[in-house]
Structure 1
Amino acid sequence: MKNKFRLLLLFAVISLSTSINAQKITDGQSVDLNGMSVTFNILNKESIEVGGKPFDRYKVSATVKNTSDKSYNIRLSSYPQVTTNIGIVELDCINATGSKLTSKKIQLKMKAQMINVTYTAYDRSGKLTNGVIPVIGSYYFDAGDAISDNAIFIVPQGEKPEVSVRSLK
């Protein structure tokens, strides 16, 4: 029983620490997160039925702009390298259902820098040929850059999306 209580307490502390870093954001509002300006906008609203129940479907947009003089870079040391930490900010719609293959979150990620790599290989006739293949060399988010993305949130009818934003950097 004591171990279950400790596990429950640990889970509560972890979930509280992640929610402390989040800030609420509403339609048309901009929030400053450590030198990054995050803007959230509702683009479109329509009423729909899912499984016989009424819902509101919102098309939303999120933008992050690097307003600081600091650039973020992730340089890949070898290819292929699995990189999972390229997100900059995450917007979470607390009351989104996620039904009908819609989103509950928008994660704005760094831009990929593509590099053309020349390689040598034999073709079908046995002749040595050169080819070019694009690969990702790094991810970046420079000072002054802006990154945008759209998503669709389905929420219970009569409710607006309740969105919180947090920095991933």
Structure 2
Amino acid sequence: MKKIQLLTALIFLFTVSNFYSQKITDGATVDLNGLAVTFNILNKESINVGGKSFDRYKVSASATNNSGKSINIRLSNAPQIVTNIGIVEINCINATGAKLTSKKIDLKPKAHNLNVTYWAYNKEGKYESSVIPVIAGYYLDPGDTVSDNAIFVVPQGETPDVSVRKLQ
């Protein structure tokens, strides 16, 4: 009975969560529910690290919102540290991460900034207003594109084995 419950729970987790990823190759575009994700290799060079040979790839990834709907991520009104705002993750499975290089690229939506005016006393004791920019949320409007670059180091003779998945 416990095995059946465990199996049911695992099946539920895999169907509900975002474990789905798709392979993507150089120059290809993959559609992820209205997000067109493109991956490109910009440069390749061979390097030697610790007596071992590797290939170093400079890569670029971009995501364009073709869904016809705006993607909005609102922040709560409580102070918080936001770290998980990515909308697409590009993961290089065979990247080593050596020499402070990347294993993945997280494409993040654009920040929605608001200017907030507040009143406070300055050093001279004068009551004055100041303006500070505050991030109210994140967005990606229809037709907008976000992109990022990274460096992947893979074993020599291999090309980056890359998969892509939608996070939001």
TM-score higher than 0.5: yes
Q: Which moved more, 1:75-84 or 1:41-50?
A: 75-84
> Do the aligned partners of residues 59 and 23 (structure 1) sit closer, same or farther apart at CA in structure 2, a change above 3 Å counting?
same
Q: How does 1:62-141 map to 2 (within 5 A)?
A: 62-141=61-140
CA distance in 2 between counterparts of 1:69 and 1:119 reads 37
Match of 1:39 in 2: 38
CA distance in 2 between counterparts of 1:85 and 1:156 reads 30
Q: Deviations over 1:116-166 (max 9, x none)?
A: 111111111111121111110111011111000000000001110000001
Q: Which amino acid is the alignment partner of residue 82 of structure 2?
A: T
Q: CA deviation at 1:20?
A: 5.8
Contact 2:91/2:162, CA 8 A, preserved across alignment? yes
Q: Which moved more, 1:46-55 or 1:19-28?
A: 19-28
Q: CA deviation at 1:16?
A: 10
Q: Which amino acid is the alignment partner of residue 146 of structure 1?
A: T
Q: Which amino acid is the alignment partner of residue 98 of structure 1?
A: G
Q: Which amino acid is the alignment partner of residue 97 of structure 2?
A: G
Q: CA deviation at 1:17?
A: 8.7
Q: Which amino acid is the alignment partner of residue 69 of structure 1?
A: G
Return 5+ residue gaps in structure 2 as ranges.
none
CA distance in 1 between counterparts of 2:47 and 2:162 reads 21
CA distance in 2 between counterparts of 1:18 and 1:56 reads 34
CA distance in 1 between counterparts of 2:15 and 2:43 reads 32
CA distance in 2 between counterparts of 1:55 and 1:16 reads 37
Q: Which amino acid is the alignment partner of residue 120 of structure 2?
A: A
CA distance in 1 between counterparts of 2:54 and 2:15 reads 29
Return 5+ residue gaps in structure 1 as ranges.
none
Match of 1:143 in 2: 142
CA distance in 2 between counterparts of 1:39 and 1:109 reads 14
CA distance in 1 between counterparts of 2:151 and 2:47 reads 13
